[in-house]
């Protein structure tokens, strides 16, 4: 801090400024560093006396320490903001985008410069059908009915492609409980949702084949208990579906065929045969 202090002192001595204020560190006698806010001005001149300066110092050590801790905390927060695998978006209390992480850029296609200051609706990230649902979800947090809300919902990429996004929303408040901002963390689950859709479609097709097949079909557990049977199997064996689901295949197998049947079923289960 020496060079800055000397520069300001030189300006004051040359009459370029009348006073100055500077924050600087001092090394105490015991070696510790303390900080002070210094106000300096020249005293009115007195005949036959050298020029004199008056300096007023305010101890700001605790404030500087707090600022350093806050700065470090902000650095850590900023690091996580930009490096988490989740898209992180901070909204103002009126739901304008305040911060937009790099991951958000990648998931939604909008740059930070394009997103900041606009709403999700203005970026067309939501379909009109989602507007009211979002307002209700956000309203619960703003009214203090819940601390956070999560949901899986359809959203739109900048190019119009539909995404499935799992969002986690929470709000920050001031000491009076007023909402300062809303933090939204978003995970792109489009791929898993698409796989689930395909599985559901596959299961629906399987159910259609299972129920309408002209041959008897059954699902069994590894103990031979019936888990599901179709109408054709019930017709073949003469039992109702409810009756079969209370039994196992061993109980309706002809005794002379049972041993061979159990052995073959066991061979399938241990994969010695297909």
CA distance 222 to 232: 22
Q: What pLDDT was estimated at residue 104?
A: 93
pLDDT category of residue 113 using cuts at 50, 70 and 90: very high
What pTM does this model have?
A: 0.53
Token pair belonging to 89:
């978006």
Does residue 107 surpass a pLDDT of 80? yes
- Average pLDDT in the 109-122 region? 93
Q: Judge whether 177 and 197 are in contact, CB under 8 Å.
A: no
CA distance 150 to 235: 48
Task: Tell me the per-residue pLDDT of 22-51, one tens digit each, with 9 for 90 and over.
Answer: 999 999 999 999 999 999 998 887 778 888
Does residue 78 surpass a pLDDT of 80? no
Q: What pLDDT was estimated at residue 6?
A: 92
Measuring CA to CA, which residue among 30, 23, 26 is closest to residue 63? 23
Measuring CA to CA, which residue among 197, 122, 198, 127 is closest to residue 156? 127
As a whole number, the mean pLDDT across the chain is 89
More confident residue, 187 or 201: 187
Q: What pLDDT was estimated at residue 46?
A: 77
Distances in Å between the alpha carbon of 195 and those of 107, 167, 204, 241?
A: 19, 19, 14, 32
């Amino acid at each position: 801090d020496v060079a800055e202090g000397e520069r300001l002192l030189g300006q004051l001595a040359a009459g370029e400024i009348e006073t100055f204020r500077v924050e600087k560190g001092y090394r105490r006698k015991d070696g510790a560093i303390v900080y002070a806010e210094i106000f300096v001005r020249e005293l009115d001149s007195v005949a036959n006396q050298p020029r004199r300066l008056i300096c007023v110092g305010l101890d700001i050590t605790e404030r500087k320490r707090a600022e350093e801790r806050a700065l470090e905390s902000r650095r850590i927060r900023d690091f996580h903001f930009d490096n988490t695998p989740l898209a992180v978006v901070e909204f103002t209390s009126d739901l304008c985008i305040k911060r937009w992480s790099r991951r958000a850029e990648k998931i939604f296609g909008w740059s930070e410069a394009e997103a900041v200051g606009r709403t999700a609706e203005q970026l067309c990230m939501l379909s009109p059908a989602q507007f009211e649902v979002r307002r209700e979800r956000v309203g619960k947090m703003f009214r203090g009915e819940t601390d956070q809300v999560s949901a899986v919902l359809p959203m739109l990429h900048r190019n119009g492609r539909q995404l499935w996004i799992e969002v986690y929303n929470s709000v920050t408040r001031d000491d009076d409980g007023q909402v300062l901002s809303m933090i939204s963390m978003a995970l792109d689950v489009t791929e898993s949702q698409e796989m689930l859709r395909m599985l559901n479609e596959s299961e629906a097709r399987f159910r259609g084949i299972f129920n309408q097949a002209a041959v008897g079909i059954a699902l069994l557990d590894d103990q031979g208990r019936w888990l599901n049977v179709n109408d054709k199997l019930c017709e073949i064996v003469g039992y109702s579906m409810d009756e079969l689901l209370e039994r196992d295949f061993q109980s309706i197998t002809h005794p002379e065929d049972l041993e061979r049947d159990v052995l073959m079923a066991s061979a399938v289960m241990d994969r010695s045969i297909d």
